[in-house]
Amino acid sequence: MTENLEPLKPKDLGINDVEFYEVDQKPTVGFFGHMRGFWVTFSTMFKKPLTVEYPEVKAPTEERFHGRHQLNRHPDGLEKCIGCELCAWACPADAIYVEGENNTEENRMSPGERYGKVYQINYLRCVFCGLCIEACPTRALTMTNEYELADDSRAKLIFEKADLLAPLRAGMLMPPHPMYPDMNDTNYYNGDVKQAHPSQELDK
């Protein structure tokens, strides 16, 4: 029968031209017929279940699962975000809002001239497409595997910069603080800075 089927040409697309064929399928009858139907159910009883008891048990996601965003830090603690708004520009859902600001000697949040003063992601809008990650010129914005993004108010689902920033790890200092001595923003970008220098610590 298959050899009779030919793809419809566009000019034949009119509904009257469609032909219907009767399909010849044998019903499952008799004892063996029923057994064949129940066999799938029966055999599953001996298989390991795929479901987990969420939320008591949390299965890890795939490695590249698109979860909540994270704003990364340089190894000395300075923020990687330069407030360029390219993520906001790339966002198809208009979920990201950024305001840039000038870095000064007294208040340095990132290497170079500019940092992101305001950074908001609206998770009611975000479609987790990851275009923002592709747009980010400094790898400041990446995605974690965190998927538990539900809450009881709209306001709580607009994540601020403080909610998105990566935690401080060993060797990092909390900005604002000066840049690593004798390093410029290109060195930071090239990964020449490995950890904070004692001179970067400000007397708080």
Partner 1 sequence: MSEVAVEMITVVIDGFEVTVPKGTLVIRAAEQLGIQIPRFCDHPLLDPVGACRQCLVDIEINGRAFPKPQASCTIPVETGMIVKTQLTSPVAEKAQRGVMELLLVNHPLDCPVCDKGGECPLQNQAMSTGQGSSRFEGVKRTFEKPINISSQVLLDRERCVLCARCTRFSEQIASDPFITLNERGALQQVGIYENKPFESYFSGNTVQICPVGALTGAAYRFRARPFDLVSTPSACEHCASGCDMRTDVRRGKTLRRLAGEDASVNEEWNCDKGRWAFKYITAVDRLKVPMIRDEAGELVEASWPEALAVAAQGLKATSAAVLVGGRATHEDAYGYSKFARLALGTNDIDFRARVTSDEEREFIAAHVVNSSTTYRDIDKADQVLLVGFEPEEESPIVFLRINKQFRKRALKVISIGSKESVGVEKLKGEFVKVAPGQEAAAISAQKLTDKSVILVGERASESAGVFTAVAALAQSSGAKLAWIPRRAGERGALQAGAIGNLLPGGRPVTDSVARQEIADAWSVNSLPSQIGRSTSEIIASVNSDQIGALLVGGVDPLDLENNKEALAALDKAFVVSLEIAPSAVTSRADVVLPVAAVTEKSGSFLNWEGRARSFDTAVDDSLNRSDLRILSMIAEEMGTSLNLGTVTAAAKEIASIKNWQGEPLKMKTASAPAQRQLNSNEALITSWRRLLDLGTLQEGEENLAGTARQTVAVISAKRAQALGVANGDLLKVSTAQGSVTLPALIENIHDDAIWAPRNSRGSQLLTDLNAVHAEVVTVVRA
Nearer to partner 1, 67 or 178 (CB): 178
Query: Counting contacts by CB under 8 A, is residue 173 touching partner 1?
Result: no
Q: Is 188 exposed, middle or buried (0-12, 13-18, 19+ CB in 10 A)?
A: buried
Query: Counting contacts by CB under 8 A, is residue 125 touching partner 1?
Result: no
Which amino acid does the sequence have at 201? Answer: E
Tokens of 7: 């793809």
Q: 159-168: buried (b, 16+ CB within 10 Å) or exposed (e) per residue?
A: bebeebbbee
3-state helix, strand, coil in the chain (%, to 5): 25, 15, 60
Cα distance between residue 184 and residue 78, in whole Å: 12
From candidates 70, 101, 130, 165, binder to partner 1 by CB under 8 A: 101
Cα distance between residue 147 and residue 152, in whole Å: 16
Could you tell me the smallest distance in angstroms from the CB atom of residue 176 to partner 1?
A: 16
Pick the piece of the chain touching partner 1 (CB under 8 A) from 6-14, 106-114, 151-159, 166-174: 106-114
Could you tell me the smallest distance in angstroms from the CB atom of residue 96 to partner 1?
A: 11
Query: Counting contacts by CB under 8 A, is residue 86 touching partner 1?
Result: yes
DSSP state of 73: B
Nearer to partner 1, 114 or 197 (CB): 114
Q: Which of residues 33-62 bind partner 1 (CB under 8 A)?
A: none
Pick the piece of the chain touching partner 1 (CB under 8 A) from 57-65, 100-108, 126-134, 161-169: 100-108
From candidates 12, 113, 134, 160, binder to partner 1 by CB under 8 A: 113
Please state the φ and ψ torsions of residue 97, each to the nearest 5 degrees.
Answer: -125, 125
Residues of this chain that interact with partner 1 (CB under 8 A) are 82-86, 88-89, 99-102, 112-114, 137-138
